[in-house]
Amino acid sequence: MWSYFNKQYKLRQNIIFQKREEEIHQNRLTFFTNIAHEFQTPLTLIVGPVQKLAESENLGEKSKKFINMIQRNSSRLFFLTQQLLEFRKAEYDHLEVTVKQFDLVNLIEQIAELFDEWALDKNIEYDLELPTELIGWYDKDKIEKIIFNLLSNAFKYTPQNGSIKLEFSIQSDKARTLHIKVSNTGKGISKEKLESLFDRFFLTDNVDKSDTDLFRTGIGLAYIKKLITVLGGDINVSSGSNKGAIFTINLPCSKHSFKEKELDTEGSQILISDYLKNILEETPDNSEDTFNKMSTLEAFLEKRKVVLIVEDEREIQLFLNELLKEKYKIIIANNGFEAIEKMKNELPDIIITDVMMPVMDGIELCKKVKSDDKTCHIPVIMLTAKSSILHRIEGLESGANSYIPKPFHPDHILIRIQKLIEEKELILKHLSQDTFIEDIKDLPVHNDDKELLRNVIKLIRDNIDNENMQSLYIEEKLGISNSQLYRKIKQNFGFSPGDLIRTIRLKYAAELLRKSNCTVSEVCYQSGFNNRSYFYREFKKMYNSTPKNYQLQNNSRIR
- 559 residues of the chain, pLDDT tens digit each: 556 556 665 666 666 656 666 565 555 556 555 666 566 667 766 767 777 777 777 777 777 777 877 777 777 777 767 666 666 666 656 678 889 999 999 899 988 888 888 888 888 999 999 998 899 999 998 898 899 888 988 888 888 899 999 999 998 766 789 999 999 998 877 777 776 676 654 444 444 433 433 334 445 677 788 889 889 999 998 887 677 889 999 999 999 889 888 888 776 667 777 666 666 654 434 333 333 333 344 444 446 789 999 998 888 888 898 888 888 889 999 999 999 999 988 889 899 998 888 889 888 999 898 888 778 788 899 887 665 555 556 656 677 888 888 777 888 888 889 888 887 777 666 665 555 555 555 555 555 666 777 788 888 888 888 888 888 888 888 888 887 788 777 777 767 888 888 888 998 899 899 888 888 989 998 999 988 888 988 898 888 888 988 888 887 766 5
Contacts 24+ apart (CB under 8 A), 420-423: 420/350, 420/379, 420/381, 421/305, 421/349, 421/350, 421/379, 423/379
Q: Report if residue 207 sits inside a domain.
A: yes
- CATH code at 188? 3.30.565.10
DSSP tag of 209: T
pLDDT of residue 393: 64
In a domain, 397, yes or no: yes
Residues 218 and 327 placed together within one structural domain of the fold: no
- Look up residue 263 and give its DSSP letter: B
**80 and 14 in one domain?**
yes
- Phi (first) and psi of residue 527, to 5 degrees: -90, 0
Distance, C-alpha 41 to centroid of its chain = 34
Q: Are residues 476 and 488 located together in one domain of the fold?
A: yes
Domain presence at residue 348? yes
Reduced to 3 states (helix: H, G, I; strand: E, B; else coil), residue 350 is strand
Q: Are residues 339 and 438 in the same domain?
A: no
Query: Considering its fold, how many domains does the chain have in total?
Result: 4
Same domain for 242 and 298: no
Whether 63 and 115 map to the same domain: the answer is no
Residues 301 and 254 in one domain: no
245 inside domain: yes
Residues contacting residue 383 through CB under 8 Å, at least 6 positions apart: 311, 316, 352, 353, 354, 355, 362, 404, 405, 406, 408, 413
Question: Which pLDDT belongs to residue 214?
Answer: 36
Answer yes or no: are the C-beta atoms of 150 and 237 closer than 8 Å. Answer: no
CATH code at position 453: 1.10.10.60
Q: Which residues contact 35 (CB under 8 A, 6 or more apart)?
A: none
Is 424 part of a structural domain of the chain?
yes
Domain boundary among 384, 409, 429: 429
Same structural domain, 481 and 469: yes
Task: Answer yes or no: is 559 within a domain.
Answer: no
75: domain range? 2-90
Q: Are residues 160 and 14 in the same domain?
A: no
Helix 497-515 with 547-554: angle, nearest 10 deg: 40
Whether omega before 252 lies within 30 degrees of 0, making that bond cis, reads: no
Residues 246 and 376 occupy one common structural domain: no
Domain boundary among 429, 450, 466: 429
In a domain, 285, yes or no: no
Residue 443 covered by a domain:
yes
What local confidence, expressed as pLDDT, does residue 223 receive? 79
Spacing of C-alpha 384 from chain mean position? 49
The answer to whether residues 174 and 136 touch, using CB atoms and an 8 Å cutoff, is: no
pLDDT of residue 37: 58
- Together in a domain, 106 and 27: no
440: nearest Cα among 495, 492, 387? 492
Residues 198 and 214 in one domain: yes
> 126 - beta bridge partners?
164
The CATH number assigned to the domain holding 312 equals 3.40.50.2300
**pLDDT the model gives residue 181:** 95
CATH code: domain of residue 79: 1.10.287
Question: What is the residue type of 462?
Answer: D
Boundary (domain end) residue, out of 398, 429, 460: 429
How many CB atoms neighbour CB 302 within 10 A?
8
Exposed, middle or buried by CB within 10 Å (0-12, 13-18, 19+), for 159?
Answer: middle
